[in-house]
Amino acid sequence: RPAPRVRVPHVLALGAAYADAALSRLIGREPQIPLEGVRMARHSMFVNTEKARAELGFSPGPLTAAFERAVRWYESSGYVRVARRADMAAARAA
């Protein structure tokens, strides 16, 4: 699914995330708007791997493999429910 094309002012997204977090606590569900995600979205996060390549011999691999390793780690550490992984596989296939 493509990323949303609508730009939302950060203050509006942050307010919605706080409201969603409060509502989620009241009704006992996971927030639909992750507060940390909204905070992180405000910053451009680009990295340069040249120093790691030169000093450590780092060689970046495919993003898909890195993402799958990260998902497995989050699952094994208890941050993500296993059922969600099946949902992600189905979404990737679509």
Tokens of 40: 């992180």
CB contact set of 34 (below 8 Å; sequence gap of 6+): 17
Q: Give the predicted TM-score (pTM) of the model.
A: 0.49
Q: Is the per-residue pLDDT at 35 higher than 70?
A: yes
Tokens of 15: 């307010």
Confidence grade of residue 54 (pLDDT, cut at 50, 70, 90): very high
- Mean residue pLDDT of the chain comes to 87
Q: Rounded to 5 degrees, what angle do the CA atoms 65, 66, 70 make?
A: 115
